[in-house]
Amino acid sequence: MILSATSAAAQEASADVSGKDVVAEDTLSTAEPDDLRAGDVPVPPEPAGLPEVEPIIPDEEFNDTIPSLDPADDDELQKPLESIDAFEQRLAREAASDAGEKPVTAANADSDAPLGEPALDDGDSTEEIGDAPVRDAELSAPLPPLDQFEVQPVEFAENATDDAEPVKIAYKTKIDGLEAVDEETDLDLESEFKGLSALRDGDGEAANVAMLSARLTEDSELLKTILASQGWYSPSVTTRIDRSETEDGTPLIAVLQVTPGKRYNFTDIKIEADPTEPADLISENFALTVGEPIVAERVQGAEAQLALALPENGYPFAEIGQRDILLDPDTGGGDYTLPVTVGPRARFGGFATEGDLAFDAEHVGVLARFERGELYDSRMVDDLRKALVATGLLSTVSVEPKRTGEAAGDGTEFVTIDVNQDAGPPRTIGGSAGYAAGQGFTLEGSWTHRNMFPPEGALIVHGIAGTQQQGAGVTFRRSNAGKRDRTFEVTAEALRADYDAFNAYTGRLAARISRDSTPLWQKRITYAYGVQLIGTAEKSYDFDAGEKRRRTYYIGGISGQLGLDTSDDLLNPTKGFRLTTLIEPEGSLGGGFNPYVRARIDGSAYYPIGNSFVLAGRVRFGTIQGADLFDIAPSRRFYSGGGGSVRGFGFQKLGPLDPEGDPIGGRSLNEAAAEVRYRWGNFGIVGFVDAGQSYAATTPQFSDMRYGVGLGGRFYTNFGPMRLDVATPLGRRKGESLINVYVSIGQAF
Note the pTM of the prediction, 2 decimals: 0.66
d(C-alpha 20, C-alpha 407), whole Å: 96
3-state helix, strand, coil in the chain (%, to 5): 20, 40, 40
**Residue 91: what pLDDT?**
76
**Residue 89: what pLDDT?**
77
Measure the CA angle with vertex 748, ends 747 and 749; round to 5°.
85
Name 407's Cβ contacts closer than 8 Å, sequence gap at least 6.
Answer: 413, 414
d(C-alpha 674, C-alpha 660), whole Å: 33
Backbone angles phi, psi at 429, to 5 degrees: -125, 130
Task: Give, as one character, the DSSP assignment of residue 164.
Answer: P
**In terms of Cα–Cα distance, which of 429, 431, 430, 434 is closest to 745?**
434
Each residue's pLDDT tens digit, 141-167: 677 776 665 656 655 555 445 555 667
Show the low-confidence residues of the chain (pLDDT under 70): 1-55, 62, 66-79, 95-141, 146-166, 244-250, 590-591
**In terms of Cα–Cα distance, which of 430, 464, 470, 472 is closest to 449?**
430
**Residue 436: what pLDDT?**
79
Beta bridge partners of 401: 417
**Residue 367: what pLDDT?**
93
**Residue 2: what pLDDT?**
34
**Residue 517: what pLDDT?**
85
- Cis check for the bond before 585: say yes or no (omega within 30 of 0): no
Measure the CA angle with vertex 361, ends 359 and 365; round to 5°.
105
CB of 429 within 8 A of CB of 399?
Answer: no
**In terms of Cα–Cα distance, which of 241, 338, 242, 248 is closest to 288?**
338
**Residue 36: what pLDDT?**
30
Reported as half-sphere exposure (CB side, CA atoms, 13 A), residue 117 has a value of 7
User: Dihedral sign, CA of 203, 205, 210, 212?
Assistant: positive
421: enclosing H helix or E strand: strand 412-423
Name 667's Cβ contacts closer than 8 Å, sequence gap at least 6.
Answer: 623, 624, 625, 629, 632, 637, 638, 695, 696, 697, 698
d(C-alpha 385, C-alpha 417), whole Å: 11
CB of 559 within 8 A of CB of 513?
Answer: no
